[in-house]
Structure 1
Amino acid sequence: MWVITLFLKGSIKMYEFSTEKEARDAFKKLKGSKFLSEIVYFNDPCFA
């Protein structure tokens, strides 16, 4: 899961995405202070 956290005009908004591509596309379009995070759970298949 990918999350964009956006700080704009004194408020905080968070957006969730399933793929990195869609998150990066949205990240480019958003205005304000923002950061992109990948959320990894301990039971994700990549740790099997």
Structure 2
Amino acid sequence: MAKLKVIRNMIDKNTGVVRYAGDVFEANDANRIKELLDAKVVEEIKENKPNK
């Protein structure tokens, strides 16, 4: 699972959802994540986990 931030407006062909630049969403499918990253329409958000 990865958090993705949209950097170019897109229509998600799997769900039909319109996503605008700046939107953040989660994706579970590794192949779909790779496809979106390769198309350069999203960037992965790295989460910083707090140290305890």
* Same fold at TM > 0.5: no
CA radius of gyration, larger in: 1
Give 1 or 2: higher strand fraction: 1
Normalised-by-shorter TM-score class: 0.3 to 0.5
Give 1 or 2: higher helix fraction: 1
Calculate the TM-score normalised by the size of structure 1: 0.41
Calculate the TM-score normalised by the size of structure 2: 0.39
